[in-house]
Structure 1
């Protein structure tokens, strides 16, 4: 087998591969010898069919398979010996299209090699870590928010009209075509207007009612309604309003704390303080991560595979276009040409991506099974009731696994860089941290 270099221009590589007819013949015979013990044929005992007969029967069928395996073997051997790592799947094509059995096979292989990443002393990197201590005012604000979520309701003044957000206590009886239906009646039912817990259009018609009112609420069941005998049907609900109540925030006391699983109010404040500290630390980490990436971008420069940069620029342009056109969910739109700004950002992302991958590989950083499982579970929570199906989908989809694994790997590399870098701490206010986070989106 011959492998001859035909192109070496920057990171572009080209090779001519020749697989001789004898090599193909030997590969086919190798496959036949391997299969011979299990083959049965009329007139012969199992495993005793002569090789010439097997070749006549199956040789043509095995030739294509042998050709592919031989070419793949030549490519793999080339990458092992050269040390090249292709940026994308190499392009391979036969150059003697008039090939027939008995001829040598001539193949052209082209690819772009991943560059050699220069050594980097991460101890030279200097960054700041912003530190925010939760203020009592922040804890009190969070407590007030919790009290609102644990709100109660008290009777409005006699004759007061119900507003959106109020609770109305009602008796109701639903009818379709004049006939009451199962599950369409209740007494003393507390309904919060605007909660969206009833059929679309129901709650809106109760805005403005007063205690003692009787009202016929006319609605139409959705076409996709769970009960098939009601789906798409018009209905009338005879409603009697027994009370109109306004929301009131729960008292901030030990009882509120117990509702949220804390022993008392001080314990709840401690939990809130810890949660705020974690949120601030997470935000500060994102700011420091950007600062580390900026420093890395200044410290390294090396050639990049043009196809990787081009693909990244197109992806950036496509993503930003959809963000600017949120009503377009599919991909039925004109081609989006990357701008100079998109190309510049693509160069940065590809260079940093290759650098982080190299640093992680040299440090033998890996994403553990438990980390992957946690990442999948976090994503699955976005699909209530379908968590198991999502979990199975990811397990069977290598591309999806890579999408989840990549940011975990990147964060672990960044953490390692931060350990070696010179990191100074700077205490700032919550507002300053918020501005720093907002600035990340502006860049």
Structure 2
């Protein structure tokens, strides 16, 4: 086998080779001989099947296996010639040429390696920012929201119509084409007006009703509703029995403080305010980091630090972007692209810069995470997904299985790593840590 391996740059290389027919034939003979020892063929004892019989029955498969073995040998020898180890390779090698000739196969393989990155001085690229200020008004408002979450209910005694924010105790029954449908009836159901938990338009029609009033409400089920009701108009007969509101106390009691500060032996309002202030400040910092500091920092890093990036990873990223576009095209549009290869290349070119920056950022984050000693375990990824599932009202295990089947776990892990990494860099940087609170 004739091999010529050459470096294109520090992250990419090309291996050119000529696989002779003689080598392929030798490999086919070895594969067939090995198969003959275990193959069962009528008329022959096991282990005594002639090689030519094996070839006649499985010639095409043996030929493919021989080519695969030759490619692996080519790859191993190419890496050796490049003085590279297999664990340095990233992405899948791309076979850019595989031309069969009279005397063998001409092969061209493109290989990419993990780039060498030097990021000395990245700390100086963190933009200056002022630590966000939290006002007493914001603290008081958050405490009111917290008090609302643990508040009990009280009946509205005054005579007034139902309004947004009230809780309505209602009877209702739904009909489609004059026929009651399954699951469309309830008695003494407590509904928060404005929560959006019912069919669109239903809660708004309740506003203005008075105690004891009965009303027919016309709505249309969403197109993504249950199949038998999706998109259909319906009439709900509703009766309002009672109006309730949350009984929010102006000041938290000792019992309230214990609920809001679990684990504290002698909780006080001052302790609650201090905790709320920290929460609000962290939320503001997270928003500042995400929307302002992080984009500026990333742009500065990508601009300052130049290094060779693996081209096959870039190609894979472009492929992903193009597939995402094609998935939303009509059959006629897809046909138009399939008949015009130049249009596909033009579309790929539109994503080239974005893909290169995305790949470059991935390796930058990986290197920075090593320097900052940011580690995220698989258990932490699972916990994050479970927490998200519970927030969405989903069954955690099924939620996790969906992420696994879609191959999304690496992306979740990367998101956690990035979040911790940038928070650490931005909060620990000397240039920013000494800044006073914004007014």
TM-score (norm 2): 0.70
Instruction: Note the alpha carbon deviations across 1:48-89, whole angstroms, 9 max, x for none.
Output: 324344344434430122112312331243134313857774
**Structure 1, gaps ≥5 residues long:** 323-328, 433-443
**Structure 1 residue 191: Cα displacement:** 3.5
Alignment-derived partner of residue 377 in structure 2? 368
Give the deviation of 1:330 after TM superposition: 3.3
Single out whichever of 161-170 and 148-157 deviates more from structure 2: 148-157
1:138 to 1:54, Cα distance in 2 relative to 1, 3 A: same
CA RMSD of aligned residues (A): 5.0
Alignment: residue pair count: 415
Separation in 2, partners of 1:406, 1:207: 46
Q: Distance in 2 between matches of 1:363 and 1:202?
A: 52
**Does the 8 Å CA contact 1:125/1:292 hold for their aligned counterparts?**
no
CA distance in 2, matches of 1:407, 1:70: 40
Query: CA contact under 8 A between 1:171 and 1:187: conserved in structure 2?
Result: yes
**Residues 80-131 of structure 1 deviation map (CA, whole Å, 9 limit, x = unaligned):** 43138577742433223x55xxx4222233x375585354434874645754
In structure 2, do the counterparts of structure 1 residues 193 and 378 end up closer, same or farther at CA, with 3 Å as the change threshold?
closer
| Separation of aligned partners in 1, 2:315 and 2:386 | 33
Is the 2:32–2:54 contact (alpha carbons within 8 Å) kept by the matching residues of 1?
yes
Give the whole-Å Cα distance in 2 for the aligned partners of 1:355 and 1:24.
Answer: 43
Secondary structure in structure 1 of the residue aligned to 2:209:
coil
Distance 1:204 1:276 in 2: 33
Alignment map for 1:83-162 (pairs within 5 Å): 83=84, 85=89, 89-96=93-100, 99=102, 103-109=103-109, 111=110, 113=112, 117=116, 119-122=118-121, 125=124, 127=126, 131-132=131-132, 136-150=136-150, 152-155=153-156, 157-158=158-159, 160-162=160-162
Q: Who is 2:340 aligned against?
A: none
* 3-state SS of paired residue (2:106): strand
Cα distance in 2 between the residues matched to 1:348 and 1:174: 54
Q: 1:352 to 1:58 in 2, by over 3 A?
A: closer
- Aligned counterparts of 2:350 and 2:55: Cα–Cα separation in 1: 60
Cα distance, 1:341–1:135 mapped onto 2, change above 3 Å = farther
The aligned residue for residue 209 of structure 1 is 209
- Closer, same or farther: CA 423–81 of 1 in aligned 2, 3 Å: farther
- SS at 1:35 equivalent: helix
Unaligned runs of 5+ in 2: 338-342
Distance 1:380 1:67, change over 3 A: farther
* Matching of residues 36-55 of structure 1 within 5 Å: 36-55=36-55
Q: Quote the Cα distance in structure 2 between the aligned partners of 1:390 and 1:247.
A: 33
1:194 partner SS: coil
**SS of equivalent residue, structure 1 residue 237:** strand
Cα gap change, 1:356/1:269 in structure 2, threshold over 3 Å: closer, same or farther? Answer: closer
- Asked whether the 8 Å contact 2:115–2:309 carries over to 1, the reply is no
Change (3 A) 1:156 1:362: closer
SS, match of residue 81 in structure 2: helix
Match of 2:276 in 1: 272
SS state at 1:38 partner: coil
Q: Which residue of 2 aligns with 1:301?
A: 306
- Name the SS of the counterpart of 1:195 in structure 2: coil
**Is 1:251 the equivalent of 2:247?**
no
Aligned counterpart in structure 2 of residue 393 of structure 1, from 402, 425, 436: 402
353-362 vs 20-29, greater mean Cα deviation: 353-362
Contact 2:12 2:113 in 1 (8 A): no
Structure 2 counterparts to residues 161-200 of structure 1, below 5 A:
161-171=161-171, 188-200=188-200
The normalised TM-score by structure 1 is 0.69
Shift of 1:18: 1.0
